[in-house]
Amino acid sequence: AQTVTQSQPEMSVQEAETVTLSCTYDTSESDYYLFWYKQPPSRQMILVIRQEAYKQQNATENRFSVNFQKAAKSFSLKISDSQLGDAAMYFCAYRSGGGSEKLVFGKGMKLTVNP
Amino acid sequence: DTGVSQDPRHKITKRGQNVTFRCDPISEHNRLYWYRQTLGQGPEFLTYFQNEAQLEKSRLLSDRFSAERPKGSFSTLEIQRTEQGDSAMYLCASSLRQQSPLHFGNGTRLTVT
């Protein structure tokens, strides 16, 4: 079974600075997708960024980018120019490329942004 | 796009009672998912529908849990004979097609006393 590990339960960053959230995963599959989701306090979970395992190029979405290391099974999220609105729980998630629609989530990491 | 709607937002029930939650997906989305999230954990997959067909079920979905999506639109999740361990946030999500991003609702928080 696939597992997703987020080893840092909490992090903090100063506004306008850069922060990197780590995630590792375990799978025997070669075709899969990786995601970062953001869950602000008392608000719905939203997709931040996704990465297809077959793509070597790291995904970017504005201030958000990933460092995807397939051999190391590592998938970190970098947030540049942090904003107060980035404060949230961040979840790393895995989905098989083999047809299952199930997302496997990590335990999450609470990001605090200090003004 | 009014988003995924879940009702109720909060439910408090006594152990042994039955509860039912409703999820209305984004109107054109044919895929609907239920997840459960306990405190300090990430969401755990429960089940998935494509239109009215329930195509995947987690082993977490015991015999006390049942989900339906009778007309391929809204879905209900029923928990029979609730236990304190059922206390959690129940999240619904929908998507347009395979590999499309999931859109989550605000969830239903269940407290079993």
Beta bridge partners of B54: B49
Distance from CA of A115 to the nearest CA of B (A): 25
Enumerate residues 6+ apart whose C-beta is below 8 A from A28.
none
Beta pairing class for A19-21 and A74-79 = antiparallel
| CA-to-CA separations, B64 to A1, A5, B15, B47, B87, in angstroms, rounded | 24, 30, 13, 14, 14
Residue A77 has pLDDT above 80, yes or no: yes
Q: Which of B56, B91, B107 sits opposite A101 (nearest CB)?
A: B56
Lowest mean pLDDT among A32-46, A78-92, B8-22: A32-46
The answer to whether B106 contacts chain A (CB < 8 Å) is yes
Angle at CA B69, nearest 5°, toward B90 and B81?
50
> What is the rounded average pLDDT of the residues A8-20?
97
Please name the residue ranges forming H helices in A22-84. none
The answer to whether B58 contacts chain A (CB < 8 Å) is yes
Q: What pLDDT is recorded for position B1?
A: 54
Distance from CA of B49 to the nearest CA of A (A): 10
Q: Which of B42, B98, B107 sits opposite A108 (nearest CB)?
A: B42
The answer to whether B60 contacts chain A (CB < 8 Å) is no
End-to-end alpha carbon distance in chain A: 41
> What is the rounded average pLDDT of the residues B16-42?
95
Contact B104 A108 (CB under 8 A): no
What one-character DSSP code corresponds to residue B70? T
Q: pLDDT tens digits for B73-82?
A: 999 999 999 9
Report phi then psi at A19, rounded to 5.
-135, 145
Question: Is the torsion defined by CA of A108, A95, A101, A29 positive or negative?
Answer: negative
> What is the rounded average pLDDT of the residues B34-41?
94
